[in-house]
Amino acid sequence: MTPAAATATTNSGPAVAFDNVYLGFDEGDILRGVSFSVPARETLVLLGETGSGKTLTLKLAAGLLKPTRGNVSVLGHQVSSMSEKELLSLRERIGFVFQEGALFDSMTVGENVAYRLREEHVKETEIEPRVQEALQFVELEHTADQLPSELSGGMRRRVSIARALINRPDIVLYDSPTAGLDPITSQTIISLIMRLRDVYGVTALLATQRLQDGFALANFCFDKEAKHVVRVSPNRRPKDGQTADATRFMVYKDGRIYFEGDPQELSSTKDPYLRRFLV
């Protein structure tokens, strides 16, 4: 697979930037003046109670929604002012792992993973090897002909990661990728996210209610030479072959960013509201 972030890293601006973003529905504003940016190769972990607007934020970053006010820019493009056609080509550079996986039940695993390539009219001869490659990445190449209902919850989640990376995206948006999974399966999913970050250099925006996912991403990295996950020592820079690109946290409360900072700041916070996420 071609290193995904080649284009993102040549772009000197942030991969994703929100500038005073508002998003509302009839009942009122859900996001109320949200500004943040995600530099290329960073992982931003987005925390917040249910209904706080995490999924909406990811949809805005994918150009699936437009803000009521403010600007969203992705890979240097202003999403708010793009036509549907321009958005389609931007979305080819973005992978979306939807909450609950959201696979098509009536399609095989292979067809699910190939879906976007078929939508984009990629040649059939090219599709097959790319589906195999994506399924190999999540170690599910043997499941291509099965239906999602024949797989476990964790396997389905891995298929949705394969589907998100089929376009070799610069940015991957993960919506609660470990929700509803047991701790061991969650670890497998987080290791995959780590591998995508450290092998292909993807930029990630990850919504979760599980703080430990964020700490795992911050404290471990995938060693490309040893081909396994290793702890990042706080006292030394990762050696060649290891990358531990920054992991930052952001917490939403009442439509606004309540906290933004690194893992150490969050884990040592005395703020009672934030401490609720730590227990």
- Residues lying near Mg ion in the complex (CB under 5 A) are found at 54-55, 99
Q: Does 183 bind ligand ATP (CB under 6 A)?
A: no
Burial class (CB within 10 angstroms; exposed 0-12, middle 13-18, buried 19+) of 191? middle
Binding mask 140-159 for ligand ATP (x = CB under 6 A): --------------------
> Quick one: CA dihedral 228, 234, 235, 238, positive or negative?
positive
- Quote the least distance from Cβ 30 to ligand ATP, whole Å: 4
User: How many other CB atoms are there within 10 angstroms of residue 89's CB atom?
Assistant: 11
Interacting residue with ligand ATP among 14, 39, 48, 201 (CB under 6 A): 48
Secondary structure (3-state) at 228:
strand
- Quote the least distance from Cβ 209 to Mg ion, whole Å: 9
Closest residue to Mg ion, judged by C-beta, is 55
Whole-angstrom Cα distance, residue 226 to residue 222? 8
Chosen from Mg ion, ligand ATP, none, partner binding at 148 (C-beta under 5 to 8 Å by type): none
Residue 216, both tokens: 């795992």
Chosen from Mg ion, ligand ATP, none, partner binding at 25 (C-beta under 5 to 8 Å by type): ligand ATP
- Quote the least distance from Cβ 127 to Mg ion, whole Å: 30
Interacting residue with ligand ATP among 34, 56, 97, 113 (CB under 6 A): 56
| Residues forming beta bridges with residue 31, ordered by sequence position | 23
Query: With respect to ligand ATP, which residue has the nearer C-beta, 41 or 54?
Result: 54
97 φ/ψ angles, rounded to the nearest 5 degrees: -100, 100
265 φ/ψ angles, rounded to the nearest 5 degrees: -60, -40
Interacting residue with ligand ATP among 54, 91, 156, 197 (CB under 6 A): 54
Nearest to 138 by CA among 110, 119, 117, 115: 110
Nearest to 194 by CA among 164, 173, 220: 220
Residue numbers of the site for ligand ATP (CB under 6 A)? 25, 30, 48, 50-56, 99, 176, 209
